[in-house]
Each structure stands twice: as C-alpha cells, then as structure tokens.
Amino acid sequence: MPIVNLPTDDGSIAPYETGVPRDFPTQPNRPFNRVALAAAHVVADARADLDPWVDTAIDWDRTIAFRRHLWSLGLGVAEAMDTAQRGMGMNWETSQELIRRSVDASKDMPGAVVASGAGTDHLAVTSGVTLDDVIAAYEEQCEAVEAMGGRIILMASRALAACARSPEDYARVYDRVLSQIAEPVIIHWLGEMFDPALEGYWGDGDHWNAMETCLSMLESNADKIDGIKISLLDKDKEIALRRRLPDGVRMYTGDDFSFAELIAGDDQGHSDALLGIFDAIAPAASAALAALAGNRPGEFHDILAPTVPLSRHIFKAPTRFYKTGVVFMAYLNGHQDHFVMVGGQQSARSILHLSELFRLADKAGLLRDPDLASARMKTALGFHGMEG
C-alpha cells in the first residue's frame, strides 16, 4: 500500500502507510428507514480568471455530478446550505442557479430528493434593517425556491439575529413567513459555532431558553413544518427537543459529533439526518443506513464508528471552517481535480489538520483509491514545502 510522509504535531515527519479501503456498495440494497439528506459542497471553477475573495465561479458539471453521486447512494441532497459555502463565498444570486440546476438534475434520477435553503442572505445586515425587511427577504427567497419546483429548508437569518429584540420578534417573522408556504418546510437552527453572527438566536443566548421559543413556534406552525434541523453539536439538547416535538414534526440531526448515536435513537425515538459530514462519508453513510433498515444495528455502528473521529476532526473549532475538510475529502477521492474552493477557503485549515484528516479517512476505509489519494496528499504537502 502507498506510504506518505506526513507532518505530526511535534513538528516531525512520520511515514504513514495507507490501509485497504472498505468495499462499500455503490447503491443501497434496500430503502432506508431514516430520512437522510447530505448537505452538499460546490466545486469551484479553478480555471476562472477572477479574484476568489470577491467573485464566484462554479464548475457546474462537477458540482451536479457530485449530487448524482449522492443520489445514487440513496441520499437526498440539502442544497445551497452552509456546506455549499452559503454566506462564505456563495451569494443568493449564485445559489439560485445552484438550486435550479440541482432541482432540474433530480428529475432525471428516480427517487432523487432535493431540498433547498431559503434565507435572507441577500439582505445587507445594517443598523437600519427591520423585521419587515427580514420578512420580505424570506418571502422573496421562498417564492424563488418554490417557483423552481424546490422544497424549502428555512435557514436561520443573520439579519433577524441582528434586528430582533425579543423572542416575540422571532415568532412574528416565522409565523408570517410560514403562513405563506406551499409545502411543509425544514426549519434550520444553526448554532453560533457554525456562524458567530447567529449567537442568541430565538432571542436568548442560553440554548435551553431559546429552545422554548423555538418549540412554541414549531407548535404554532406544525402543519407547515416537516421537521427541524438542529446544529448545536450537543446531543443532549437535540434529544431534549426531539422528545417534545409536535406530532408529525421530524428531528433532523445536524450534530456532526454524535450523529451515529442520534440516528440510531433510543426507545423514545430517533433523529433523521441532514448532515454536512454525509457529503464526506457518503458511501459509509449509505451502507450504514441500509444496515439499520435491515435490522442490523451492529453493522450500522461498525461502519459509522470510525467515521465519527473523522467528523469531529473536520468540524473541530473554528467549526465554520469545516467546509475545507469536506472539499479536501472530495479532492482525495477524485470527485474533483483540484483543491480550490469558493472564496479561497482552501486556506482555512493547516496542512497538519489536512494530514490528520487523511489518516482518519484512511482508518475509516474511506479513501476509495489509496494510490490516487496518496498522490494528491503529496501534492498538498508539496505546496506547503514538504516532500510526501
């Protein structure tokens, strides 16, 4: 097996020999008994003549090809979310094109599911922004997604977090927006570890207090809500909210630290999934979900257990830079030919971080072609002045 010389935390270089990848199926052998959506990344156009911190260029063919890869594994696609660098290089204008292309592509694949983010990110967050401005921005994006034939994931709003003065302000905005929705939506509660601008969402900096406001909103609008994705990286908070959800409202785990345990569930229920890590571990996620549906929980945990350390590493603080690890995984596994990201975000993690990602991905059996992955790891090392 290939050997790569990787940097270590103590500053030394140590040879690492890759293992044999796990032989995951290329498609599930049975329907899943959990709803499973992968928040998918975008592939930048590395050849575009632009300034990446200012402009955005997408390789649409590779971006849509990756979504077909996810669909083929039985996973749905959560489109234009934070994994797609929404608000970190992807603006609303480009996101609309992404949603349109993804929805169109899904029509060619039987059973393909796509749900798309609608938020307020085209609204400038200024001192003069009002709740009515936020409502209008949500309405504009929701109308656009529905016009493209898409299902809505109602994203948390930086503008709302900036202008709201009480829990009642959140209730007013969500009640108004949800009253106009054609089909039930997924609510997204994104924590401040993913986006510092969302601190104090639902009108309180204490998540437990905020949960009460969120739950009240869910209860008032249950007929308009398919589920809620909670991304607080705290399984106890997710479980507590899950056990109090109105009938018919799903919990979509957004906990990239404890997702296996939460999806498996307990005697009081389980979480479905809407996860950025499913982008990086898609073959393992598909195989594990098929095992769970086949009443083989031991196999489910056997597959996912080694992916949890990888996920915790990719999503380590500062968590908002997790997209770099997700895209690096796609590069290692040949889903794109370069490690260039929208907004130049390939620079957001160190070579030590990427080296440990390589080791953990290998231990999880997720480097599908060790020769290719090793060659690409060596390219990344060389860019940092190291011989792999």
pLDDT band at 387 (very low <50, low <70, confident <90, very high): confident
Q: Which domains, ranges and CATH numbers included, belong to the chain?
A: 3-7+29-383 (3.20.20.70)
State mean pLDDT over 154-158: 98
Name the nearest CA neighbour of 269 among 285, 296, 248, 289.
Answer: 248
Residue 128 to residue 147: CA distance in whole angstroms: 30
**Tens digit of pLDDT for each residue in 345-378?**
999 999 999 999 999 999 999 999 999 999 999 9
pLDDT the model gives residue 14: 95
pLDDT at residue 11 greater than cutoff 90: no
Q: What is the mean pLDDT of the chain?
A: 97
State mean pLDDT over 143-166: 97
The DSSP code for 302 is: H
**Tens digit of pLDDT for each residue in 29-38?**
899 999 999 9
Q: What are phi and psi of 231, to 5 degrees?
A: -120, 75
Q: Where are the beta strands (DSSP E) in the chain?
A: 3-7, 13-17, 36-39, 76-79, 114-118, 151-154, 185-190, 225-231, 250-253, 272-275
Residue 159 to residue 154: CA distance in whole angstroms: 14
The pTM is what?
0.96
Look up tokens 């590069």; give the residue. Answer: 331
- Angle, CA of 81, 340 and 15, to the nearest 5°: 110
pLDDT the model gives residue 152: 98
pLDDT the model gives residue 289: 98
pLDDT the model gives residue 52: 87
**Tens digit of pLDDT for each residue in 167-201?**
999 999 999 999 999 999 999 999 999 999 999 99
pLDDT at residue 242 greater than cutoff 90: yes
Please enumerate in sequence order all residues whose Cβ is within 8 A of that of 365, keeping only pairs 6 or more positions apart, or say none. Answer: 19, 20, 21, 22, 24, 284, 306
**Whether the Cβ atoms of residue 52 and residue 343 lie closer than 8 Å to each other:** yes
Q: Which residue has the higher pLDDT, 106 or 29?
A: 106
pLDDT band at 273 (very low <50, low <70, confident <90, very high): very high
**Tens digit of pLDDT for each residue in 68-97?**
999 999 999 999 999 999 999 999 999 999
